[in-house]
Chain A
Amino acid sequence: MNANNWSERKALAGAVLEIDVRNHAGVMSHVVGLFSRRAYNLEGILVMPVGAGEQSRVWLKVIEDARLTQMIKQVEKLEDVLAVRRHGADHAVFERIEEFFRAA
């Protein structure tokens, strides 16, 4: 948690959360706010609509600490969250888009 530079953070155990939500203007604020108000950094955020666009899928990359289980329970409580799935840090979703995030 106190590892502040990026290489140190990368070395910490991570997790990827896959969250199905209703697609509307406020839903990202609801999800992200749960983390920011606990000073829990989100290392990566991806979101796109799925299917006809009624729903979106949010992918979050986080560093695992003792609060993660509680965070997942809090996310599950949100009215517009339909499902939360937890994956390991090596999930392909963030690895595949890494090429768009290379330092210039």
Chain B
Amino acid sequence: MSPSQPPASSTPQPETLSGAQIVVRLLERQGITTVAGIPGGAILPFYDALSESRSIHHVLARHEQGAGFMAQGMARATGRPAVCLASSGPGATNLLTAIADAKLDSIPLVAITGQVPQAMIGTDAFQEVDTYGLTIPITKHNFLVSSAEELLRVIPRAFTIAASGRPGPVLVDIPKDVQNQRIEVHEWPTPGAAEAPPAFDSAAIDAAAAMIRAAERPILYLGGGVVHSGAARQAVDLAEKAALPTVMTLMALGAMPVDHPLSLGMLGMHGARCTNFALDECDLLIAVGARFDDRATGKVAAFCPGARIIHIDIDPSELDKIKTAHVGIAGDVSAVLQALLPRVHAMPRTAWLARVARLKADHPLQTPGIDDVRSHYGLIAATAAALDDEATVATDVGQHQMWVAQAYPLRRPRQWLTSGGLGTMGFGVPAAIGAALAEPQRTVVCFTGDGSILMNIQELVTAAEEGVNLKIVLMNNASLGLVYQQQSMFYGKRTFASKFQAVPDFIRLAEACGIRAVDLDATQAPGAALTAALRTPGPCLIHASIDRDQKVYPMVPPGAANKEMIGG
């Protein structure tokens, strides 16, 4: 946590404060400077107290899901827990998707919701829903607070839980009477911080080192846990020292620069042929902060069929969940890799690296049209060329997401913000706003589709209001492209409910929301227009039509083994 955070301290003389004021003070002490939310009756005491804060900036989202994803964007960009706010009832239910998304991608989030007064709970009071019950399965933990006193324990604890071990979302539901209850505060608790990770088994490290030494065709398989744990450097060091070709999950992109000689890029459903072929041949798979997700593994029984497995993860329940590991190490991946590094011998592994180089040469990722800004890959490449590695890249969900994952040269952990586990359309724009709020010095680019952007289009107004340095690249194929692709490939070309009959004028829509807009369709020099738009500060929507019939290739058909790719 940031060094500016105060320790536990007794106040010179006790202050009488409301529950709402206590929460605001605890957030300030926590080092929170930006929160996103929407007020409503049951959280108004808190908002009233928040209005007095001089250090917390409140971003007024236009939908609570937007607020939830803005907080996610802040947390994903910085690695620190971020806060979203909603009122009871519909406010809380609108947050659910963003919370569930954070759970599946292990993002530290603290969601604070107002609840009807305790005396009315259970009476079907106006705007009462069982927020606690609704969020049990989608949070790491949740609280229904029953007194102002309890807040002094619960709020720091919420941050500790969100940030410790495998990060995740925590919800704190605070009835209105608790927000209004006034108590004397004699002492402030220490702000919540990540707990020290548990000790790991040193003998297992030796066993893992021996397996790496003995392996002839090892592959390093990095997951999102590498990014969460801040272990990208150690992972690259290990790969270099032990000559390990390296694959990354969607969540791990950026952990190893794509153009690193050992990088095989993304594995799985839309991985390059060479990547999935190399995995098929490996005799040792070293899974680090990865969870063998079905989009990564394809048919599990056929995933790395000849490989022994080392699995390192901070969450013990991930070990042996999908694949049984020969050596499983429950521990913080950064600490485990640090311990593993000195015990691994440097080795050239010439034959295997030559074989992988052969696979790369024979079966590279195909990116047709990459030199043409009017094509999907070309648009992505031109966007990357106009920016540097300091830029942050967010996406929505669909074909555009997979094309960006394949073709954008990601080189930095936390450079890449995408909804992996839940795959939530509507994630992109608000998450990118959150990232831009958290790191205003960066350019944030959000690739989106004409389907996804409409799911949180209202947040363009928030982007305009906040003046964030956000460039939205809208890849418009007048369809729900990924659905259209699946129907074209696996449902006898019956493309039902996936082509839009009506498509809004996105340029005028953006302008109506107060955002500059550039239409690459309308210019003779799309490359220059794109570069100029990307380099002009402030929010901007960049619109480009793309061909509806382009597919994401290669593609592993659902349920098939990864080596059975179509196309590419």
Interface flags, A68-94, vs B, CB<8A=1, else 0: 011001101111000000000000000
- Establish whether residues B137 and A26, one from each chain, have CB atoms under 8 Å apart when the complex forms: no
- Establish whether residues B136 and A26, one from each chain, have CB atoms under 8 Å apart when the complex forms: yes
Residues of A within 8 A of B320 (CB): 69-70
| A24 CB, min distance to chain B CBs, angstroms | 9
| A101 CB, min distance to chain B CBs, angstroms | 28
- Establish whether residues B317 and A29, one from each chain, have CB atoms under 8 Å apart when the complex forms: no
Interface flags, B132-159, vs A, CB<8A=1, else 0: 1100110011101000000000000000
Interface flags, B497-514, vs A, CB<8A=1, else 0: 000000000000000000
Query: Which of A33, A73, A76, A77 has a CB less than 8 Å from the CB of B136?
Result: A33
Query: Which of B137, B144, B317 has a CB less than 8 Å from the CB of A25?
Result: B144
A10 within 8 A of B: no
Query: Which of A26, A30, A37, A70 has a CB less than 8 Å from the CB of B317?
Result: A70
Which chain A residue has the least Cβ–Cβ distance from B130? A29
- Establish whether residues B141 and A79, one from each chain, have CB atoms under 8 Å apart when the complex forms: yes
B315 within 8 A of A: yes
| A34 CB, min distance to chain B CBs, angstroms | 8
B54 within 8 A of A: no
Residues of B within 8 A of A70 (CB): 317, 320-321
Number of residues from A at the complex interface, CB < 8 A:
14
Residues of B within 8 A of A77 (CB): 315-317
B161 within 8 A of A: yes
| Chain A 32-91 residues near chain B, CB threshold 8 A | 33, 37, 69-70, 73-74, 76-79
**Cα(A73)–Cα(B137), bound, Å:** 16
Residues of A within 8 A of B316 (CB): 73, 76-77
**Cα(A5)–Cα(B195), bound, Å:** 47
**Cα(A33)–Cα(B144), bound, Å:** 17
- Establish whether residues B136 and A30, one from each chain, have CB atoms under 8 Å apart when the complex forms: yes
Given contacts A25-B144, A79-B141, A79-B161, contact A74 B317 (CB under 8 A): yes
Residues of B within 8 A of A37 (CB): 137
Q: Interface centre among A26, A33, A76, A78, by most B CB within 10 Å? A: A26
Query: Which of A26, A69, A79 has a CB less than 8 Å from the CB of B144?
Result: A26
| A83 CB, min distance to chain B CBs, angstroms | 15
Q: Interface centre among A30, A37, A74, A78, by most B CB within 10 Å? A: A30
Q: Interface centre among B137, B161, B316, by most A CB within 10 Å? A: B137
Which chain A residue has the least Cβ–Cβ distance from B315? A77
- Establish whether residues A29 and B321, one from each chain, have CB atoms under 8 Å apart when the complex forms: no
- Establish whether residues B141 and A73, one from each chain, have CB atoms under 8 Å apart when the complex forms: no
- Establish whether residues B317 and A33, one from each chain, have CB atoms under 8 Å apart when the complex forms: no
| Chain B 112-139 residues near chain A, CB threshold 8 A | 132-133, 136-137
- Establish whether residues A33 and B321, one from each chain, have CB atoms under 8 Å apart when the complex forms: no
Interface flags, A12-38, vs B, CB<8A=1, else 0: 000000000000011001100100010
| A90 CB, min distance to chain B CBs, angstroms | 27
Which chain B residue has the least Cβ–Cβ distance from A79? B141
Given contacts A26-B132, A26-B144, A77-B315, contact A33 B161 (CB under 8 A): no
**Cα(A20)–Cα(B133), bound, Å:** 21
- Establish whether residues B317 and A73, one from each chain, have CB atoms under 8 Å apart when the complex forms: yes
**Cα(A73)–Cα(B161), bound, Å:** 17
- Establish whether residues A29 and B136, one from each chain, have CB atoms under 8 Å apart when the complex forms: yes
Taking A70-B317, A77-B317, A79-B141 as known contacts, 17 extra A-B pairs with beta carbons closer than 8 A to each other, sorted by chain A number, are A26-B136, A26-B142, A29-B136, A33-B136, A33-B137, A37-B137, A69-B320, A70-B320, A70-B321, A73-B316, A73-B317, A76-B316, A76-B317, A77-B315, A77-B316, A78-B141, A79-B161
**Cross-chain pairs A/B with CB under 8 angstroms, 27 sampled:** A25-B144, A26-B132, A26-B136, A26-B142, A26-B144, A29-B133, A29-B136, A30-B136, A33-B136, A33-B137, A37-B137, A69-B320, A70-B317, A70-B320, A70-B321, A73-B316, A73-B317, A74-B317, A76-B316, A76-B317, A77-B315, A77-B316, A77-B317, A78-B141, A79-B140, A79-B141, A79-B161
